Amino acid sequence: MANRAPMLRIGQQDLKCRQGCGFYGNTQFDGLCSKCFRERNDKQRKRQKAGEDHETLKVNASSAGGTLERKSPQHSLSLGRANKTKKQPEKEETPAASSTMPRKKFTVPAVLQKTLKNKFPAIAPQPRVPSATESQFMLQLRQLRIPDDGKRKLKSEIQRLDHEIRKYMNNNSSKNVDELSDLVQNAYTRFADVVHNDARFEIATNEDRDIAIDFFEKVVMTQNHNLLFSPYFTTDEESDIKVQKRIRQLSWITTKHLDCSIDEVNAEARDLVYNAISELVGIDSYYSPQEKLLCTVRCCRHIFELLKRATGGPASADDFLPALIFVVLKANPVRLHSNLNFVNRFTNASRVMSGEGGYYFTNLCSAIAFIENLNGESLGISAEEFDAYMSGEQTYSTPWESALLACESLHLISENMKCMEQLQKRNSVISTGIKDFQRELIEFQREVTEKVDTVMAKAPLTLLPIKTPPFLISQARAHLAQDGVEAAAGHYQSNLLSLSPQTMTVKGKEQILEDSQLEVAHTLALKDTSVGSVGRLSPLHPNLPQPDQLFASPIFSYTPFDAVSLLEESSENDDVLMLGTEFHGGLTNINYDFDLSDQSGENSVADESKLNLDEFDPLVQERNTPAETTLLDTTADSLIDSDVPVSEVLLPSPLKPEVANYRGFSNFEIPSISCNTGDFSSLNQDVNDPVPLVQSNK
Amino acid sequence: MATAPRSGGSGSGAAQRPNGTSQNKSCQFKLVLLGESAVGKSSLVLRFVKGQFHEYQESTIGAAFLTQTICIEDTVVKFEIWDTAGQERYHSLAPMYYRGAQAAIVVYDIQNQDSFQRAKTWVKELHKQASPNIVIALAGNKADLSNIRVVEFDEAKQYAEENGLLFMETSAKTGMNVNDIFLAIAKKLPKNDNNPGTVIKPNGNESTQTTNNCCK
C-alpha cells in the first residue's frame, strides 16, 4: 500500500486521457488512441533512464499497474459510469499486451527472456509498483523452505503460467472464460503433481509443499489479476450491476423477513454487523483468491460472534445463513459477481470445495443466489406485498434503515449516555464523599463540643470575679510609685519581647522551670497546661486539680519574672505573698502565657500575628478587656476605695517593663527565688491577705 | 453464480498428514448435514465433535462448520462437516453445499412427521443430484423422547433399506448412536487411495461430474 501513490498517478493519467478523447485505440499505436500513445511514449522515455534492458517488461507491468489501479476508483463512480469506463480499457488493453508480447519474442529468445525476468527483480529493484510486489514475492520465494532446485522450478512454472495466460488473452479468436479457467486449473494440478512427485521437492515437508502451491497460485493471480478479474468477454460486469441494483431494491428487508436472530436495534450487535460488513466489502480490495477467501472467513466469524451473543450458543447454519444474507443485503458489496467468479474460476478448486474458507464461500454464494431469486414466498409475505415493496409503492421503515438515518445522532446519544454514566459514577463518588465528610464534620463538631463541655465543666467560668484583684491594683500602684509612669501601650509587647528569647519553646520553658527546681507537681502542671494551650480539644488531665490545669502554667511561667520583680523589692516573707498573688491574678497572667506559647509555636515575634491570635483566644477577650478597660474601671473603683489616686496608665503596665529590665540579667536567679517560695499549698493558705502586705511593703 | 466451480485440482489441501506415518492412510471427507430446521442437526454434530450437549465451550464459535478426525483400522478419517440451513426457503440452496460431498446425513425428528417427509425429499434429491457415490445416512434424532414418537422405527428402517441408506435413531442429548452413525459412514466410504498427498482424488473426480448442474 505504500506504493499507492505512483500507481494512482498512472491510473489517473490513463483515466483522464480515455475519458477525454473516447477514441478507440489503434494497433499501430500499441492499441491506444494517439493521445494515449503519446503519453505512453513519455512514460517510456522516463523509464529508459532507469534501465533500458527491461523496457518491454516494464511496459507490461505498467499497463498491469494501470489497470489494477484503474479499477479501484470505479468503486466510487456511479454504476452507469463504472460500466462504461470499465469496458473500454479492457478492450484497449489486450492489444497493448499483444503488441508487447511479440516484441519480447523478437528481441530475446524465450529462454533468455525467462532468466532475465528471473534475475531482474533481485538485481534491480525498481520504483514501480508491480516491481515492488514482484520483489516482495521474490523475497517470499527466498523464504520458502523448499530446496533451491524447487524454487527454480517454482519460478519457471510461475512464468510459464504467466505466459500461457497472456498468450491466451492475446489470442483474439473466440475467448471463453471456462477455457481460461481450465487452463489455470490444469496448471495448478500440474504444479501440485510436480511438487508432490518431483525429485526436486523431495526433502520438503508436506506443509512446505502446500505453501509452495499456495505461493504459486498467489503470485500468478496477483500478477494477472487485471487480465483474469472480470474479463471483458464475460458478463460479470452486468451481473455485478444487476445484483447491486437488486440489493438496493431489497433494502426494505428486515431480519424478520429472513427468520434471522440479529437484533437490529442493539448497539453491540450493530457494531458486529458493521465489522462483518466492512470485511465483506473488503473482499474486493484483495488481489489473490486466497486473500479474498480469508476475508470471507473473517466476515463470517464476525457473524458467528454476533449470533453467539444473540442465541447464547454456537450458531448452526439455520441461524447463520439468514444472518449472512442480511449482512450481504446491508453491505451491498461492489463487484460481487466478479469477485465470486474470480475465486470460483481461478483458485485451486479444492479451496472452494472444502475447508472453512470453502464452506463460508459456499455460504456467500448461496446467500447471493438467494438474494437474486427471492420472492414474496421466500420472505414469508404475499406476492402482492412483495411487488408493492419492490416497486416502491409501499413505503417501509426498517429499524436498520431508520437507525442508519439516525446513525449520527444515535452514535452521539450513545456517546453521551456513556459520558453521563461516567459522570453519574463520579457524582455518586463525590456525594458519598460529601456525606462522609459531613458525618465526620458532625462527629468532629460533637467531639469538639464534648471536649469543650468537659473543659467547661472542669473549669467553669466562675473565676470571673477574680479578674480584678485589688492587690494587683495596689501592686501596680506600688510600682508606679517606685518607678514612675511607664508607657502603658508598650508594656505588654516589651514584656513579651524580653521573654521570648528565653521561652521560645515550651521545652525551653520547661527547662527553665526544671532548673528552678520546682517541685514535681509543678512541672507536671506546667506540662499539662502546655498541652492544653496547644490543643484545647485534647482532654485535660483528670488527675490534676482543676485550677492547676487551667492556671498553673501561667502562674509558673510568670512566677519567675513576677517573682523577680516582686522579689527585688520584697523580703522573704513577701515571696509567699507574691506567689499567692500570682495565683489569684492567674487570669491576667494566663493571657501572657498563651501568647508566649503561641509565639513559640510560630517561632516568630511579630506583634501583629500575636494580636490576631489573641482575638481568637476565648480567654483573650477577658484579658484584654480587663487589662485595659474593664480592669481599669474595676481597679479604679478599688483604687477609689483604697483612696489612691488613679492614673489610666497604671494598671497592666507597671509590672512588665520592670520585668523586662530585670529579666535580662536575673533570669537565672529566678529558680532559686521561686524555689524559695516553697510549697504551693502553704502558699495557698497565705493568699488571704496579700494586699495589706504589699501595701505595707510599699 | 454464473459459472460452475472447478474441481480439477485434486486434493492439494488434503496433505495434513506429517511425514513418516506412511503406513497409515489418511482421508478427508466432506459430509453435509441436511434436514428441516430444529431437528437437531447442529446438536448432533456438536455432540460428535465436542462431546457436548448444550454446554458449549467458549472456543466454539459456530456449529455450522466443524471438523472431526476419527480412526478406523489403519485409516485416519477426517470429517469436514457442513451444516445447511434447514428452513424451507433456503431449500433451493442446498445443492451448493452437497456439491462434492462424499457423505450426507439426513436428519429428521422422530416426533415430527413433517420432518420425516422432508428427509425423504432430501434423499430423493441427493440421489438425483449429488455425486452417485455419496454415502447417505438417515438419522432419526431425539430418540431419547421415543415415548412420544410419531415416526415409527420400523417405518424409517424399511424406507432406509429400500433406498440403500444407513439408518440409526440417534439422540444428541444422550449421545446415543451419535458416534456410531459417523463410524458407520466412515466404514462405508471408499478409502482406496493410498497416496497421502492426493487423498481426495477419487472424490474430486466424482464431483466433476456434478459441478455443472448444481451451482446456481
In the predicted model, is pLDDT for residue A616 greater than 90? no
Measure CA A313 to chain center. Answer: 34
Take residue B103 and report the three cell numbers written for it. Answer: 457423505
Take residue B182 and report the three cell numbers written for it. Answer: 459417523
Q: Per mean pLDDT, which range of A21-25, A230-234, B107-111, B178-182 is the poorest?
A: A21-25
| pLDDT confidence of residue B127 | 93
Q: Per mean pLDDT, which range of A263-277, A656-670, B49-63 is the poorest?
A: A656-670
Sort out which chain A residues have CB atoms less than 8 A from B28's CB and list them.
354
A404's enclosing H/E stretch is: helix A399-405
A243's enclosing H/E stretch is: helix A236-249
Domain residue spans in chain A?
12-43, 144-228, 243-396
| pLDDT confidence of residue A333 | 92
The whole-number average pLDDT for the span A84-99 is 38
Sort out which chain B residues have CB atoms less than 8 A from A177's CB and list them.
3
| pLDDT confidence of residue A521 | 43
| pLDDT confidence of residue A540 | 43
Q: Does B121 or A350 have the greater pLDDT score?
A: B121
| pLDDT confidence of residue A258 | 84
The whole-number average pLDDT for the span A71-90 is 38
| pLDDT confidence of residue B158 | 94
Distance from CA of A370 to the nearest CA of B (A): 7
Let me know how long chain A is.
698
Burial class (CB in 10 A: 0-12, 13-18, 19+), B56: middle
Name the residue facing B216 among A320, A353, A369 (closest C-beta): A369
Distance from CA of B146 to the nearest CA of A (A): 24
Distance from CA of A293 to the nearest CA of B (A): 14
Assigned architecture for domain A243-396:
Up-down Bundle (1.20)
| pLDDT confidence of residue A659 | 47
Measure CA A570 to chain center. Answer: 80
Interface contact flag, B97 A366, Cβ < 8 Å:
yes
| pLDDT confidence of residue A176 | 84
Its ipTM equals: 0.80
Nearest chain B alpha carbon to A203: B19
Instruction: Determine the straight-line distance between the first and last CA of chain B, rounded to whole angstroms.
Output: 5
The mean predicted confidence, pLDDT, of chain A is 66
| pLDDT confidence of residue A467 | 65
| pLDDT confidence of residue A459 | 75
Distance from CA of B113 to the nearest CA of A (A): 20
- Which of B62, B151, B69 is closest to B106 using CA atoms? B151
| pLDDT confidence of residue A443 | 94
Interface contact flag, B5 A209, Cβ < 8 Å:
no
Name the residue facing B100 among A192, A234, A353 (closest C-beta): A353
Under the banding of pLDDT at 50, 70 and 90, the label for residue B134 is very high
| pLDDT confidence of residue A151 | 84
Q: CB–CB of B1/A198 below 8 Å? A: no
Interface contact flag, B96 A189, Cβ < 8 Å:
no
Compute chain A's Rg from CA coordinates.
53
In the predicted model, is pLDDT for residue A70 greater than 70? no
Contacts of B183 (CB under 8 A, 6+ apart): B70, B72
Among A483-487, A514-518, B26-30, top mean pLDDT goes to B26-30
Take residue A379 and report the three cell numbers written for it. Answer: 420472505
pLDDT digits (tens, 9 = 90+) for A335-381: 999 999 999 999 988 888 888 999 999 999 999 999 999 888 888 88
| pLDDT confidence of residue A30 | 62
| pLDDT confidence of residue A664 | 46
Contacts of B34 (CB under 8 A, 6+ apart): B41, B84, B86, B94, B98, B104, B105, B106, B107, B119, B122, B126
The whole-number average pLDDT for the span A597-614 is 45
Instruction: Determine the straight-line distance between the first and last CA of chain A, rounded to whole angstroms.
Output: 111
The whole-number average pLDDT for the span B114-138 is 93
Q: Does A104 or A198 have the greater pLDDT score?
A: A198
In the predicted model, is pLDDT for residue A492 greater than 60? no
In the predicted model, is pLDDT for residue A210 greater than 90? no
pLDDT digits (tens, 9 = 90+) for B166-203: 999 999 889 899 999 999 999 998 876 543 333 333 33
**B25-188 has which fold?**
Rossmann fold (3.40.50)
The whole-number average pLDDT for the span A590-619 is 47
Interface contact flag, B6 A239, Cβ < 8 Å:
no
pLDDT digits (tens, 9 = 90+) for A107-149: 434 444 444 444 444 434 334 445 667 777 878 887 877 778 8
**A144-228 has which fold?**
Serum Albumin; Chain A, Domain 1 (1.10.246)
| pLDDT confidence of residue B26 | 83
pLDDT digits (tens, 9 = 90+) for A152-183: 888 888 888 888 888 888 876 778 888 889 88
| pLDDT confidence of residue A278 | 93
| pLDDT confidence of residue B154 | 93
In the predicted model, is pLDDT for residue A87 greater than 70? no
pLDDT digits (tens, 9 = 90+) for A518-546: 444 444 444 444 444 444 444 444 444 44
Sort out which chain A residues have CB atoms less than 8 A from B200's CB and list them.
350, 354
Under the banding of pLDDT at 50, 70 and 90, the label for residue A554 is very low
Distance from CA of B7 to the nearest CA of A (A): 5
Using the 8-state DSSP alphabet, how is residue A32 labeled? B
Interface contact flag, B62 A213, Cβ < 8 Å:
no
The whole-number average pLDDT for the span A665-671 is 48
Domains A12-43 and A243-396 agree in fold:
no
Percentage of chain B modeled with pLDDT above 70: 73
In the predicted model, is pLDDT for residue A75 greater than 90? no
Interface contact flag, B41 A359, Cβ < 8 Å:
no
- Which of A82, A98, A95, A97 is closest to A19 using CA atoms? A82
**A12-43 has which fold?**
1.20.5
Q: In what order do the strands lie in the sheet with B25-35?
A: B65-72, B75-83, B25-35, B103-109, B135-141, B166-169
A537's enclosing H/E stretch is: none
Domain residue spans in chain B?
25-188
- Which of A154, A134, A155 is closest to A58 using CA atoms? A134
Alpha-carbon distance values, A73 to A77, A243, A638 (Å): 7, 20, 112
Q: CB–CB of B128/B121 below 8 Å? A: no
Q: CB–CB of A261/A321 below 8 Å? A: no
A189 contacts chain B (CB < 8 A) = yes
Q: How many Cα atoms are found within 13 Å in the side-chain-facing hemisphere of A202?
A: 2
Interface with chain A: mutation pick from B6, B58, B209, highest number of A CBs within 10 Å = B6
Q: Does A664 or B117 have the greater pLDDT score?
A: B117
| pLDDT confidence of residue A601 | 43
Alpha-carbon distance values, A696 to A137, A569, A691, B57, B211 (Å): 123, 12, 8, 108, 140
Quickly count: other Cβ atoms within 10 Å of residue B84's Cβ. Answer: 29
| pLDDT confidence of residue A399 | 72
pLDDT digits (tens, 9 = 90+) for A38-57: 777 777 777 766 654 444 44
Contacts of A626 (CB under 8 A, 6+ apart): A467, A468, A587, A588, A634
